[in-house]
């Protein structure tokens, strides 16, 4: 213990006497993230802060989803085809090496999948994308893999765009040094200080321009913005809207998050459609835009962003109509609906910037049309007990403020969880909707999109599932010496190979 202390202290002393680190390498970039990476295992890359460092920089996937075209492009797999329902054959790229020197092959894909869904290690990718069905990978030969799923997953190749490929030798515990096939490898990691990625010479694809990337961590948005301004950093992928004050360096991008108020369809008074409609009509959504919400935020009509398959552009957000809302409430009251019961708004502290203010404003709007609402801001642990099933029996009337992120282009990652009768965060209980979701989940191609569109329309128009609010935007600050423009993908990854120099 004392040894370590002295060791750290002497390191520190050494650092003290070192020289200022203002000078910048020509082809090196510094990226300032909002939080330290606690784990750096490729199977956790679905966490946005980990993904921004790892995805497509160190770890690659069989396929990549391109949000701008909604297309799935080949990466480590050259092609794929469905051999029978739920069974897919992937042809792998040859001549690819991991950064530890071993060759990439079918066995690595099999191991990566097994590792992600293993019960020996808590992999987020496994739980998030490969839960709820059986999936198995078999190596046919060194460059061919058969992957079967049960029940059949029509979007299996899309799922594979989330699976980071690790070498066959990777143990079933979190690794401290990630190994992948990507254009970069991690050369340094100083806990609490930085992570350094350097370009690999033996990368299989086109060599990127950026030679070295240093990731540092500052939790305060204004500090991140200031660092780019003074040249201590080159990219701050996430800054707050308030700090995005310079048009030349600050970019807004849709961050694929959607905010909404989840309604409880099993408890009075929100079990009454009129009450739910009144809640929707009570909200002056336009008033938020450019005030509490960024100018670029978009009113939502679905819990998934517009770039998602089956998104129905014809749906209109509920207009602000407090008089109609009062009428509906009066009607419901006349029918014996207990509209005067206190409805608790459950908020999660830190869900998004200025969430408390947004909820306070909403509360005032609900009150204005005659609802009896209170606001409770809870810490994550307690909030989850309201947000997730099983809900408490005697929970009473409540609305839960929530935010959902789906950048994968398919509603399957959202609909069951958010709207199925058994869905983990669903306040809805409609068997016919369950069937529609199941049908859409199993469909393919254009039919799939059409079915999803029906599901979302039904939720918005017929059931009035929730009080949908906004598709959110994020802000990045990029140094003027770089040629880089953030996109919707910036929320989950930050490909160094897309960065150029001016």
Partner 1 sequence: MKKFIGKRAVASAISLVGLVIMVFFLSRLTGDPADLYLPVDASHQAREQFREINGLNDPLMVQFGRYVADLAVLDFGNSIRQSRPAIDVVLAGFAWTLWLACVTMLLVTFAAIVIGSLAAFRVGGVFDRIATFFSLIGASAPDFWLAIVAIVVFAVNLRWLPTSGTGTIWHWVLPVSVLFVRPFGLILQVVRGSMIGVLSSAYVKTARAKGVRNRPIIFVHGLRNGMLPVITVIGDQAAGILNGAVVVETIFGFPGIGKLMIDSILQRDFNVVLAAIMVSALAIFLMNLLIDLAYALLDPRIRY
Partner 2 sequence: MTQSSPLTGPARRKSGLATVLGLLWRDKFAFCAALFLLVVIGCALIGPLLLEDAATRQNLRGRNAPPFDMTRDWAFFFGADALGRPLLVRIIVAAQNTMLIAAGAVFFSALIGSSLGLAAGWLRGRMSQVILRLGDVIMSFPSLLLAVIVLYMLDPSVFNIIIVLAITRIPVYLRTARAEVLEVRERMFVQAAKVMGASDLRIVFRHILPVVLPTLLTIATLDFAFVMLAESSLSFLGIGIQPPEITWGLMVSQGRPYLTNAWWLSFWPGLAIILTTLSLNLLSNWMRIALDPVQRWRLEMGGRKND
Among the listed residues 69, 81, 94, 132, the single contact to partner 1 using CB under 8 A: 132
User: 356 touches which of partner 2, partner 1, none (CB within 5 to 8 A by kind)?
Assistant: partner 2
Choose one: 14-22, 50-58, 285-293, 429-437; the region binding partner 2 (CB under 8 A).
285-293
CB of 263 within 8 A of CB of 399? yes
Choose one: 187-195, 282-290, 294-302, 444-452; the region binding partner 2 (CB under 8 A).
282-290
Say which residues have a Cβ less than 8 Å from residue 171's Cβ, sequence separation at least 6.
none
User: 425 touches which of partner 1, partner 2, none (CB within 5 to 8 A by kind)?
Assistant: partner 1
User: 203 touches which of partner 1, partner 2, none (CB within 5 to 8 A by kind)?
Assistant: none
CB of 32 within 8 A of CB of 60? no
375 binds partner 2 (CB under 8 A): yes
The strand ranges marked E within 143-289 are 144-150, 184-190, 194-199, 212-217, 235-239, 250-263
How many C-alpha atoms does 359 have within 13 Å on its Cβ side? 28
Q: Closest distance between partner 2 and the C-beta of residue 222, in Å?
A: 6
251 three-class SS: strand
299 binds partner 2 (CB under 8 A): no
Binding mask of the shown chain, residues 376 to 415, with x at each position contacting partner 2 by CB under 8 A: xxxx--x---------------------------------
What 271-274 contacts at long range (C-beta under 8 Å, 24+ apart), as own/partner pairs, is 272/332, 272/335, 272/337, 273/463, 273/464, 274/328, 274/329, 274/331, 274/332, 274/337
According to DSSP, the residues that pair with 236 across neighbouring strands are 477
Closest to partner 1 by CB, 277 vs 405, is 405
Interaction residues for partner 1, span 43-62 (CB under 8 A): 46-47
291 binds partner 2 (CB under 8 A): yes
Among the listed residues 24, 74, 174, 438, the single contact to partner 1 using CB under 8 A: 174
Task: In whole angstroms, give the CA distance from residue 215 to residue 184.
Answer: 13
Closest to partner 1 by CB, 176 vs 444, is 176
Backbone dihedral angles phi then psi of residue 253, each to the nearest 5 degrees: -145, 145
377 binds partner 1 (CB under 8 A): no
According to DSSP, the residues that pair with 1 across neighbouring strands are none
**Terminal alpha carbon distance of the chain:** 49
A 10 A CB-CB count for 319 gives: 12
CA angle 440, 445, 451 (to 5 degrees): 30
Task: In whole angstroms, give the CA distance from residue 480 to residue 246.
Answer: 11
Size of the site for partner 2 (CB under 8 A): 28
120 binds partner 1 (CB under 8 A): yes
21 binds partner 1 (CB under 8 A): yes
Closest to partner 1 by CB, 229 vs 327, is 229
177 binds partner 1 (CB under 8 A): no
Residue 178: both structure tokens together = 């990630």
Among the listed residues 209, 229, 296, 360, the single contact to partner 1 using CB under 8 A: 229
Sign of CA dihedral 32, 35, 40, 43: negative
Interaction residues for partner 2, span 336-365 (CB under 8 A): 349, 353-354, 356-357, 359-361, 363-364
CB of 475 within 8 A of CB of 252? yes
What 333-337 contacts at long range (C-beta under 8 Å, 24+ apart), as own/partner pairs, is 335/272, 337/268, 337/269, 337/272, 337/274, 337/275
Interaction residues for partner 2, span 229-268 (CB under 8 A): 240, 242-243, 245
222 binds partner 2 (CB under 8 A): yes
> Which residues are at the interface with partner 2 (CB under 8 A)?
221-222, 240, 242-243, 245, 284, 287-288, 291-292, 349, 353-354, 356-357, 359-361, 363-364, 374-379, 382
> Which residues are at the interface with partner 1 (CB under 8 A)?
1, 4-5, 8-9, 12, 15-22, 38-39, 41, 46-47, 119-122, 124, 126-128, 131-132, 173-174, 176, 191-193, 216-220, 222-223, 226-227, 229-230, 232, 379-382, 384-385, 387-388, 417, 424-425
């Amino acid at each position: 213990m004392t040894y370590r202390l002295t060791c750290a202290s002497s390191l520190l002393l050494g650092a003290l006497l070192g020289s200022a680190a203002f000078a910048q390498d020509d082809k090196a970039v510094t990226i300032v993230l909002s939080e330290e990476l606690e784990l750096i295992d490729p199977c956790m890359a679905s966490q946005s802060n980990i993904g921004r460092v790892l995805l497509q920089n160190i770890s690659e996937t069989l396929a990549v989803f391109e949000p701008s075209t909604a297309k799935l492009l080949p990466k480590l797999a050259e092609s794929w085809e469905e051999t029978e329902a739920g069974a897919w054959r992937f042809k792998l790229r040859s001549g690819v090496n991991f950064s530890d020197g071993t060759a990439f092959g079918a066995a690595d894909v099999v191991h990566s999948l097994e590792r992600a869904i293993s019960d020996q290690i808590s992999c987020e990718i496994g739980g998030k994308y490969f839960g709820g069905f059986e999936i198995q990978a078999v190596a046919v030969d060194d460059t061919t893999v058969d992957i079967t799923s049960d029940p059949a997953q029509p979007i299996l190749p899309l799922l594979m765009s989330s699976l980071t490929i690790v070498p066959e030798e990777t143990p079933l515990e979190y690794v401290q040094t990630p190994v992948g096939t990507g254009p970069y490898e991690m050369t340094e990691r100083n806990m609490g200080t930085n992570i350094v990625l350097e370009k690999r010479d033996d990368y299989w694809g086109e060599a990127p321009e950026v030679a070295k990337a240093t990731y540092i961590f500052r939790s305060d948005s204004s500090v991140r913005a200031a660092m780019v301004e003074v040249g201590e950093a080159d990219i701050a992928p996430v800054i707050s809207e308030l700090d995005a004050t310079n048009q030349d360096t600050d970019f807004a991008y849709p961050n694929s998050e959607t905010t909404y108020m989840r309604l409880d369809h099993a408890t009075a008074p929100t079990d009454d459609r009129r009450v739910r409609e009144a809640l929707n009509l009570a909200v002056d959504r336009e008033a938020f835009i450019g005030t509490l919400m960024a100018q670029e935020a978009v009113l939502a009509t679905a819990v998934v962003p517009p770039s998602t398959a089956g998104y129905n552009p014809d749906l209109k957000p509920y207009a602000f109509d407090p008089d109609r809302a009062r009428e509906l409430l009066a009607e419901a009251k006349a029918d014996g609906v207990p509209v005067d019961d206190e409805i608790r708004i459950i908020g999660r502290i830190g869900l998004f910037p200025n969430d408390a203010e947004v909820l306070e404003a909403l509360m005032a709007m609900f009150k204005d049309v005659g609802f009896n609402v209170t606001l409770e801001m809870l810490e994550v642990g307690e909030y989850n007990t309201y947000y997730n099933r099983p809900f408490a029996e005697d929970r009473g009337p409540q609305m839960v403020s929530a935010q959902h992120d789906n950048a994968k282009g398919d509603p399957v990652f959202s609909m069951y969880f958010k709207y199925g009768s058994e869905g983990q965060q669903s306040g809805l209980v409609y068997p016919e909707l369950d069937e529609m979701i199941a049908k859409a989940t199993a469909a393919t191609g254009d039919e799939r999109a059409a079915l999803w569109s029906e599901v979302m329309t039904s939720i918005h128009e017929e059931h009035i599932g929730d009080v949908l609010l906004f598709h959110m935007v994020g802000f990045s600050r990029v140094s003027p010496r770089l040629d880089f423009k953030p996109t919707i993908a910036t929320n989950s990854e930050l490909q160094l190979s897309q960065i150029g120099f001016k």
